[in-house]
Structure 1
Amino acid sequence: MNRFSYLRASDVGEVVSALKDAPAAKIIAGGTNLVDLMKYNVERPERLIDITHVEALQEIIEGENGSLRIGALVSNSALAYDARVTERFPLLSSALLAGATPQLRNAATVGGNINQRTRCYYFYDAGTPCNKREPGTGCPAKTGLNRIHAILGQSEACIATHPSDMCVAMAALEAVVHVTGPDGERDIPFADYHRLPGDTPQKDNTLLDGEVVTGITLPASSTQFSANYTYLKLRDRLSYAFALVSVAVALEKEGDTVKRARIALGGVAHKPWRRAEAEALFEGKAADSGLFARVADALIDGARGYEHNAFKIRMAREAIIRALEQASAGTPQSNIDKHIV
């Protein structure tokens, strides 16, 4: 681990100023990802900016018509068990409880969660090439160990995946990310926050230099998904493990007819994966097994596997169908008994 200076910020303005003064600085809150990366010499910040005492980022605030604004410092545990979330946005609570361990959820923050970095083996190994860690050096995952890697949206430069469970639910719920920077405040639709790798895989998101995430809003329109939802996570073991494939489904139904559908996949791409044209297949139609299969095919169209992860294509298709069955029936995947029924 390299030497670094430390600053405890007291407000958002001080954070923005500190980032402007030290471009190689990193923000730290729970530290559940950053500290690991520093220990592996993947991240080598010259300054750490501690934001844990910025009170304005610690609250969950009621908005209009049932929307919620979640401060960037709200812990994953606090968010998962907040009564307003479990009642209005239970999909998000389910995704949070499917991720990590209770100890990690107690420390991890909302702002840190959306900015966590890939768990690609090669990214974590500073002794190997990695375009995400050091642009232009190559992507050994393409021909190496790639069991956990992307089957959708990848590029020749990178086949890493985004590891978050929370973000998959946030994508399906069409959340909005709030950021503040040298040029003031701006809002970013969740679908536009994370990036596909393209030729610049070192850029995980669309934050500009000097910007900091201050919060995320769950829109009132997504409260209509509270009855028909599920978060289905497939992994190598039922205890703490990252998703091989995960599916967040949010349906608004009127009788047997689906008025709106939102579906996001995790574990398969560089960002939570959605396709509006697949979701549109649902609208105004009765939910049935044939429709579920067509939606699944549309979501994973163009998927490409590698030597060790080609199984994820079929796994994703079957997981989508199963998740749609669960959500349509109003029987979400249990957070206690994680076996799939």
Structure 2
Amino acid sequence: MNPFDYVQAADAEQALALVAEAGPGGDAAQAPRFIAGGTNVLDLMKENVLRPARLVDLKRLPLDRIEALPDGSLRLGALARNADTAYDPRVRAALPLLSSAILAGASPQIRNMASNGGNLLQRTRCLYFYDTGTPCNKRTPGAGCAAIGGLARQHAVLGASAACIATHPSDMCVALAALDARVELRALRGTRTVALVDFHRLPQDQPERDTVLAPGELVEAIVVPPSRQYAAHSVYLKLRERQSYAFALVSVAAALDLAPDGRIRSARLALGGVAHKPWRLPAAEALLAGQLPATALFEAVAARVLEGARPQGVGLGCNAFKIPMARRAIVRALGQAVQGTVTNTGDNTA
């Protein structure tokens, strides 16, 4: 790990000013960084993927509150811990899908440290990205991608590009995408709000850019609009290689609003583990509106969501299995959601 300056910011303006200063030589890996829980930033520094000249600690900023807004939305502070968010009574009552997704991620120790903002910004767990001895376009633009044609079991089957096939690792973000969350951002020039589904980006020819966050911009909060109509019929299904502390091979966030006659008034559906960002397709959700739940219907929705899916890698490292796994997971999650909210994710293993 390289030497670096460490500064505790007293307020948002100071934090933004400290990070706005250019890193040495314009090297993105050496640019100043914000740090909150540090559960991903410190990992990247230890592996020499990041070499920031300065870390700006945000812990003194008043961004750790979870607040109910007048319109019924919940505002989740960027510095609120994942565990505090998952166990907050308002989140558990109105957003059980979000609570379940957070509790399906990482370990209790990490959830106690990790912040909501950091969860949004965590980097891919692609083994080639972490291995500085291999080429990686995300780590060094133009270097090439060792995962393409290599060991790609964990990699994307949707939205990949010729430059990158990495996947986004977050569980929380999959649920937030399904729930139409928004991200509040602050920079020295002012504030803006971005829909969560637009916050993360596909790799295209700039895989080094995971999000639309501008240099020096700070995540202040996540706002989740009123979603109580989905609280009684929501499921976060995570398929992984071991029961705990493993990233998703495939995950599904499914939420249904059911009418008294059992018909589906509206639906929300997002996938994790399959793309560079949480994968949501409103056109597939629309197939469910006004319909009576049925396995054939859910299979048609799954087929629509997975249109264009392509396996990556070679031999035993190929991830072709993810496509039928995702299809079955969608059908299973929608069927479970019809029966009622499932909050116990501990046995959702592959």
TM-score, normalising length from structure 2?
Answer: 0.95
After TM superposition, list the pairs within 5 Å mapping 1:1-341 onto structure 2.
Answer: 1-23=1-23, 24-55=31-62, 57-220=63-226, 222-255=227-260, 256-306=262-312, 307=314, 308-332=318-342, 334-338=344-348
Q: 1:12 to 1:245 in 2, by over 3 A?
A: same
Distance (Å, rounded) in 2 between the aligned partners of 1:147 and 1:173: 28
SS in 1 for 2:137: coil
SS in 1 for 2:304: helix
Counterpart amino acid of 2:240?
Answer: R
Distance (Å, rounded) in 2 between the aligned partners of 1:335 and 1:215: 26
SS in 2 for 1:145: coil
The gaps in structure 2 that reach 5 residues or longer are: 24-30
CA apart distance, 1:338: 3.9
Contact 2:240 2:348 in 1 (8 A): no
Distance (Å, rounded) in 1 between the aligned partners of 2:16 and 2:55: 13
Distance (Å, rounded) in 2 between the aligned partners of 1:22 and 1:199: 24
Counterpart amino acid of 1:39?
Answer: K
Distance (Å, rounded) in 2 between the aligned partners of 1:180 and 1:197: 24
SS in 2 for 1:64: coil
CA apart distance, 1:336: 4.2
CA apart distance, 1:333: 5.6
Distance (Å, rounded) in 1 between the aligned partners of 2:83 and 2:277: 23
Distance (Å, rounded) in 2 between the aligned partners of 1:317 and 1:64: 39
SS in 2 for 1:259: strand
SS in 1 for 2:100: helix
CA apart distance, 1:121: 0.5
Distance (Å, rounded) in 2 between the aligned partners of 1:289 and 1:333: 22
Contact 1:22 1:47 in 2 (8 A): no
Deviates more, 1:305-314 or 1:168-177: 305-314
Contact 1:66 1:223 in 2 (8 A): no
Distance (Å, rounded) in 1 between the aligned partners of 2:221 and 2:324: 36
RMSD: 1.1
Contact 2:241 2:349 in 1 (8 A): no
SS in 1 for 2:266: strand
Distance (Å, rounded) in 2 between the aligned partners of 1:89 and 1:230: 11
Contact 1:175 1:189 in 2 (8 A): yes
Contact 2:239 2:348 in 1 (8 A): no
Contact 1:263 1:274 in 2 (8 A): yes
Aligned residues: 338
Counterpart amino acid of 2:120?
Answer: I
Counterpart amino acid of 2:233?
Answer: N
SS in 2 for 1:263: strand
TM-score, normalising length from structure 1?
Answer: 0.97
The gaps in structure 1 that reach 5 residues or longer are: none
Deviates more, 1:115-124 or 1:329-338: 329-338
Distance (Å, rounded) in 1 between the aligned partners of 2:32 and 2:145: 26
Distance (Å, rounded) in 2 between the aligned partners of 1:183 and 1:331: 43
Contact 1:232 1:333 in 2 (8 A): no
> Once the two structures are aligned, what percentage of the paired residues are identical?
55
